[in-house]
Amino acid sequence: MDTVSGAATRLLFPDWMRGVQGRVETALARQLPAAEAIPARLHQAMRYATLNGGKRVRPLLVFAAGELSEAPLPRLEVAACAVELIHSYSLVHDDMPCMDDDVLRRGRPTCHVEYDEATALLVGDSLQSLAFEILARADFADGPRQLEMLALLARASGSCGMAGGQAIDLAAVGRTLDQPELELMHALKTGALIRAAVLLGGLCGTALGADERDSLDRFAKRAGLLFQVVDDILDCTASTVTLGKTAGKDAAAAKPTYVSLMGLERAREFAADLGGQALAALSSFGERSRRLVELTDFITQRKF
């Protein structure tokens, strides 16, 4: 069977990464309704919001975690697309005027600027439905496992996950959060979906043991937090052109970030600590976790 191990693991990390990104881009283009299918404007906007050459960090995590369970590529592709569709929907809604009110995303006008607000609202709604549709429709030949994956992704997306974190974030503007409050917010807002990506990848192949699942979950939680701390650092150090989205936005909006809480240097140390903890959680997997290790290093060192 076509799995992520074997020949694929001998690729250098940048080549592996580009391979997964290309595969996910193609799969997303196929899973999304055609641009000319009625209602065409909505479908064009869904494609505009999703097929934009994003970094595809969550799909990369799905594929990297899939190596632990020797998962078949077609399953990883479906899981990766489902997670990325949820992520894309959240970006479209977060950018809307009533939320973060942003005009730039991945170097292009945001969805409500390029189309209109009503369309952007429906784009987000429809991308969310599509994520669950493709995950429910795929044939994984293991109904209970597939239902577990659906429940996991839905939980990570909703009010006890990503959307809940966004709600806490909105309520926190202009207030000072302490570190536990900030961690709860990010554990939900960014962490929940990052964690779901890792766990979904682990669920795509041979069943992991209870200890292995615990280790993977420990990794997933650290990786989610790490990603957000690095994001906060980049928001205050990188330029708008490099990021492809408006830089310095968090500070301008008086949003609580790790940098505003602990300063740039301590935020960098915290990121390095989290990276170390994430890697430690993977130690028992040995060579099977090689892509997750490389990806963690990549996330820690990313510049955009």
Helix (H) or strand (E) holding 111: helix 111-114
Confirm or reject binding of residue 133 to a second copy (CB under 8 A): yes
Confirm or reject binding of residue 55 to a second copy (CB under 8 A): no
Span of 53-61, 149-157, 213-221, 259-267 interacting with a second copy by CB under 8 A? 149-157
Name residues whose C-beta falls within 8 Å of residue 301's C-beta, 6 or more positions apart in sequence.
none
User: Closer CB to a second copy, residue 4 or residue 96?
Assistant: 96
Closest by CA position to 100, among listed 120, 92, 108: 92
- 107 φψ region: left (φ > 0), alpha (ψ -120 to 50), beta (else): left
- Total binding residues toward a second copy, as defined by CB under 8 A: 52
180 vs 177: CA distance, rounded Å? 8
Which listed residue (41, 108, 218, 302) binds a second copy by CB under 8 A?
Answer: 41
Which listed residue (163, 238, 261, 262) binds a second copy by CB under 8 A?
Answer: 163
User: Closer CB to a second copy, residue 147 or residue 252?
Assistant: 147
Cα separation of the two ends of the chain: 36
Residue the block writes with tokens 């479209």: 92
231 vs 162: CA distance, rounded Å? 16
User: Closer CB to a second copy, residue 15 or residue 139?
Assistant: 139
Q: How far is the CB of 22 from a second copy (least distance, A)?
A: 25
Helix (H) or strand (E) holding 136: helix 117-137
Positions in 236-255 near a second copy (CB under 8 A): none
DSSP 8-state code for residue 116: -
List residues binding a second copy (CB under 8 A): 33, 37-39, 41-43, 46, 89, 93, 96, 98-99, 116-119, 121-122, 124-126, 128-130, 132-133, 136-137, 142-144, 146-148, 150-151, 154-155, 157-161, 163-164, 166-168, 170-171, 184
